[in-house]
Amino acid sequence: MGKKALLLVDVQNDFCTGGNLAVPNGEEIVPVINKLMADGGYDLIAASLDWHPKDHGSFVSQHPGKKVFETGELSGQPQIIWPDHCVQGTKGAEFHPDLDKEKIDYIQPKGTDKTVDSYSAFRDNMQDRLTGLAEYLQEQGITELHICGLATDVCVKFSVLDAAELLPGVKIVFVEDASRGLSEEAVNTAKQEISAAGIDIKQSAELLPEKPRPAICPRPPKQRKFGR
């Protein structure tokens, strides 16, 4: 019998309100994810963490004269310049404090090599090196994988697309309301790419088992009163 897993992508402080690379209303997904973890019937829950060295080559601090979100270069390839974020060992790299971390079975760090960025939880942006997550999920016998987190249009999208490619035979589902993106336009574009790859887009409520309705006890029939 197949197994079902949930993958949480980068639900970290730096991607939530007040963080160095905040996704608008990113923290709103935390209670949705907590409910999925509690009631979704998952055999395994995995989570990725952006886990950068402090001198990561995608950081604006490493590109004098550049501004955030401009295009620079990293290892000879075009690179979006990001605010310094999710630095190893900092509060910004920690999971959001309201996330029910006790339910997470496996944590996959990514972006640990300063010479290449890693949006996907499965491999780096050069597509040269795998993180090991795909192999782990295959070893666990996973046949269905639900993916959500931050941000829809960057790390979540690339994780979803890579999962479909690297996990043949596994049903991949993108959980839309358990994810947030940097802009509405970018999210819509990401959803189009995900759909074009033949990947299902679902809402969390569609993935939760229906609760049985309480039985309605019929009222006892009224008893006729007879006089003496």
- CATH for 160: 3.40.50.850
Residue-level pLDDT at 226:
44
The predicted pLDDT at position 58 comes to 97
Q: Which of 155, 157, 162, 191 is catalytic?
A: 155
Is 10 among the catalytic positions? yes
Question: Quick one: what percent of the chain has pLDDT higher than 70?
Answer: 92
Q: Active-site residue among 10, 124, 153, 162?
A: 10
Q: What is the pLDDT of residue 145?
A: 98
Structurally, the chain folds into a number of domains equal to 1
What is the pLDDT confidence band of residue 69, given thresholds at 50, 70 and 90?
very high
Whether the pLDDT of residue 217 is over 80: the answer is no
Q: For residue 67, is it within any domain?
A: no
Whether 216 has a pLDDT exceeding 70, the answer reads: no
pLDDT for residue 220: 59
- Which amino acid is it at 122? F
Active site (annotated) includes residue 155:
yes
Residue-averaged pLDDT of the chain: 94
Domain span holding position 139 = 3-52+90-207
User: What interhelical angle do 157-166 and 184-196 show, nearest 10?
Assistant: 10
Residue 213 within any structural domain of the chain = no
Residue 228, pLDDT above cutoff 50? no
Of 86, 110, 117, 162, which residue is the catalytic one? 110
Residue 122 lies in a domain: yes
Instruction: State the average pLDDT over residues 100-109.
Output: 98
Residue 189 located in a structural domain: yes
217 assigned to active site: no
Give the pLDDT confidence of 106-143 residue by residue, as tens digits. Answer: 999 999 999 999 999 999 999 999 999 999 999 999 99
pLDDT, average across residues 14-30: 98
- Quote the pLDDT of residue 2: 85
pLDDT at 92 over 50: yes
Residues with Cβ within 8 Å of residue 187, at least 6 apart in sequence:
152, 153, 181
